[in-house]
Amino acid sequence: MSQITKARVLELLDYEPATGVFRWKRSGRRAVAGAIAGSNNGKGYIQISIDGRRRAAHRLAWLVCAGELPADEIDHIDGNRSNNAISNLRQADRFLNNRNVRCARATNKLGVLGVHARGTRFIAQIRANGTTKHLGCFKTVEAAHNAYLAAKAAFHKD
């Protein structure tokens, strides 16, 4: 993706750091001056089309406030992918960003984080400090998930 500059973003958009909302400065082909810029990409992230390319609003917010695009990922602290308030964004490596996951993927058959089935039992585990930690084997999904949540509170403090 070609780099975009802070000057180019500010030429086209106003950013409200407290709310994370971008608004168009001028009307154009698809833009209306004063209207909220961007749309949900189907995964919860807001994307804004600038110069024919879709750009992640959270990365644009970081660019506007910090003056440069981050080398790492941008993490939404509260887990809400559409909350682009600068106070909700932080630079993070992949490990920190993945720790912030709040719900199971759609492909997760049990519907809870950190638990998988093995026979009639449920195994709880967590990744911390680059290794997978076995938390135990439980009779119920709920007990395994509670073990995972306790470990997450201990290992993933931020």
Q: What is the model's pLDDT at position 104?
A: 61
Q: What is the CATH number of the domain that holds 75?
A: 3.90.75.20
What is the C-alpha to C-alpha distance for residues 113 and 96, in angstroms, rounded to an integer? 16
| 34 and 104 assigned to the same domain | no
Q: How many separate domains does the chain show?
A: 2
| 17 and 28 assigned to the same domain | yes
| 31 and 87 assigned to the same domain | yes
pLDDT confidence band for 102 (50 / 70 / 90):
low
List the domain range (segments joined by +) for residue 29.
Answer: 6-92
Q: What is the CATH number of the domain that holds 109?
A: 3.30.730.10
Q: Is residue 1 part of a domain?
A: no
| Maximum mean pLDDT: which of 9-13, 40-44, 94-98, 141-145 | 9-13
- pLDDT single digits (tens) 16-35: 999 999 999 999 888 999 99
